[in-house]
């Protein structure tokens, strides 16, 4: 019986680990899987909703690290997870994505000579000002199994000198969760509950580079002002963004947008429903670039780079410069019917968890 730790810390990790947890559970005689939640996302609406929707069990360990600077949060995760490793002695640690929990738990495991698998390996924005980019590079450099979601991930790792025998192109596990719960999402009543009719654009906004800078946030909100005169905007507002709007005294500007529907953060099914029904999406999220590509919904990513370029090459995503006029222009093109067509990339098929477990069924670790 081999012991495996699955690490979750922030909301995107839940959608990546849920299908993997369920797939490992099909082999009870071979794997003993423990779910470790660092508590990096501590807001119940941003965490518990998704755990419940994805039918994830209560974590075996909950580290309760909460918020803090990157240094404090990373150090706290490392200190607390190291104790769990020493007590439980796992044979393999699987981390996902690019949050502080990813890098911190990987470092703990490697220093204690425990193999690490990085789920969603090889993604690069080539912008080291993004803390997520540092987490990606660090985690990939020390991991034993690099599980890539798209072929550009393999190419990036090979360029960085990672041995090819460590790299496994398995596909996008986020799409496993999406496919597994697509019908539940279709049955969501979020539009009726929120009083939203069809023909709307969906907004998500949370990255520090966008919302922690008053000038940048104002630039984006001015674009929303203009766009909202042409189409309804539905905005499930992230707690961080709501806080910064108040801090920068921009609340009145937001309140005065009559066609802007500010709603509380919603669960996984409800959010998928909003994506499916949206005319287009304005976002700075990574995962939403992927989900919108699968749904075939146009996505305007308000960032200078993306670590998911396949959503541009093959999908429905496009980058938009952080200038009010550029954001308005990109939205206007969609409203005029100039919609970018895309396709679903290879291995975004709902079978990624199965491919991953097959790797560990046939290898000693």
Instruction: Dump pLDDT digits (tens) for 160-208.
Output: 999 999 999 999 999 999 999 999 999 999 999 988 888 999 999 988 8
Asked whether residue 251 falls in the same domain as residue 125, the answer is no
Rounded mean pLDDT of 26-37?
95
pLDDT recorded at residue 48: 66
Between 328 and 341, residue with greater pLDDT = 328
In a domain, 178, yes or no: no
For residue 52, is pLDDT > 80?
A: no
Between 293 and 50, residue with greater pLDDT = 293
Asked whether residue 130 falls in the same domain as residue 163, the answer is yes
Asked whether residue 165 falls in the same domain as residue 16, the answer is yes
Q: What CATH number is associated with residue 10?
A: 3.40.50.2000
What value does the mean pLDDT of the chain take? 94
In a domain, 50, yes or no: yes
Helices 44-53, 11-24: inter-axial angle, 10-degree rounding: 20
Active-site choice (37, 70, 113, 206): 206
Rounded mean pLDDT of 280-307?
96
Asked whether residue 75 falls in the same domain as residue 115, the answer is yes
Enumerate the H helices of the chain as residue ranges.
11-24, 44-53, 70-88, 100-111, 131-142, 151-159, 173-180, 182-186, 190-194, 208-211, 214-227, 239-247, 251-255, 268-277, 287-295, 310-313, 324-335, 352-361
Asked whether residue 124 falls in the same domain as residue 74, the answer is yes
pLDDT recorded at residue 57: 83
For residue 44, is pLDDT > 80?
A: no
In a domain, 41, yes or no: yes
181 an active-site residue?
no
Asked whether residue 201 falls in the same domain as residue 108, the answer is no
pLDDT recorded at residue 47: 62
Q: Which residues contact 211 (CB under 8 A, 6 or more apart)?
A: 205, 217, 238, 240, 241, 244
In a domain, 113, yes or no: yes
Rounded mean pLDDT of 24-37?
95
pLDDT recorded at residue 10: 83
Q: What is the pLDDT of residues 163-175, one digit of tens each?
A: 999 999 999 999 9
Task: Give the closest residue to 294 by CA, choosing from 211, 185, 204.
Answer: 185
In a domain, 211, yes or no: yes
Asked whether residue 207 falls in the same domain as residue 141, the answer is no
In a domain, 91, yes or no: yes
Provide the number of structural domains found in the chain. Answer: 2
Asked whether residue 118 falls in the same domain as residue 189, the answer is no
In a domain, 194, yes or no: yes
Asked whether residue 47 falls in the same domain as residue 158, the answer is yes
In a domain, 294, yes or no: yes
Q: Tell me which residue range forms the domain holding 275.
A: 183-335
């Amino acid at each position: 019986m081999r012991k495996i730790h699955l690490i979750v810390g922030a909301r995107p990790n839940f959608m990546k680990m849920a299908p993997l947890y369920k797939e490992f559970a099909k082999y009870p005689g071979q794997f003993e899987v423990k779910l470790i939640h660092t508590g990096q996302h501590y807001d119940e609406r941003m965490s518990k909703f998704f755990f419940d929707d994805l039918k994830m069990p209560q974590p075996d360990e909950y580290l309760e690290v909460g918020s803090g600077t990157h240094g404090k949060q990373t150090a706290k995760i490392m200190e607390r997870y190291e104790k769990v490793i020493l007590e439980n002695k796992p044979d393999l640690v699987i981390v996902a994505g690019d949050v502080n929990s990813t890098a911190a738990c990987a470092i703990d495991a490697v220093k204690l000579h425990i193999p690490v698998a990085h789920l969603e390996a090889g993604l690069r924005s080539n912008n080291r000002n993004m803390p997520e980019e540092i987490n990606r590079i660090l985690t990939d450099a020390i991991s034993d199994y690099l599980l890539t979601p798209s072929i550009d991930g393999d190419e990036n790792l090979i360029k960085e000198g990672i041995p090819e025998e460590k790299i496994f192109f398995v596909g996008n596990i986020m799409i496993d969760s999406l496919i597994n719960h697509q019908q539940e999402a279709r049955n969501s009543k979020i539009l009726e509950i929120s009083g939203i009719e069809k023909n709307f654009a969906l907004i998500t906004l949370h990255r520090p580079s966008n919302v922690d800078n008053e000038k940048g946030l104002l630039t984006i909100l001015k674009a929303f002002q203009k766009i909202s005169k042409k189409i309804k905007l539905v905005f499930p507002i992230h707690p961080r963004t709501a806080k910064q709007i108040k801090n920068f005294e921009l609340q009145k500007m937001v309140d005065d947008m009559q066609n802007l529907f500010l709603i509380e953060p919603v669960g996984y099914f409800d959010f998928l429903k909003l994506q499916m029904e949206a005319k287009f999406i304005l976002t700075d999220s990574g995962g939403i670039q992927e989900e919108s590509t699968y749904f075939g919904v146009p996505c305007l990513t308000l960032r200078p780079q993306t670590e998911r370029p396949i959503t541009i090459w093959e999908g429905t995503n496009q980058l938009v410069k952080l200038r009010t006029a550029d954001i308005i222009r990109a939205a206007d093109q969609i409203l005029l019917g100039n919609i970018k067509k895309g396709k679903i990339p290879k291995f975004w098929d709902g079978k990624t968890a199965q491919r991953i477990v097959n790797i560990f069924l046939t290898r000693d670790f």
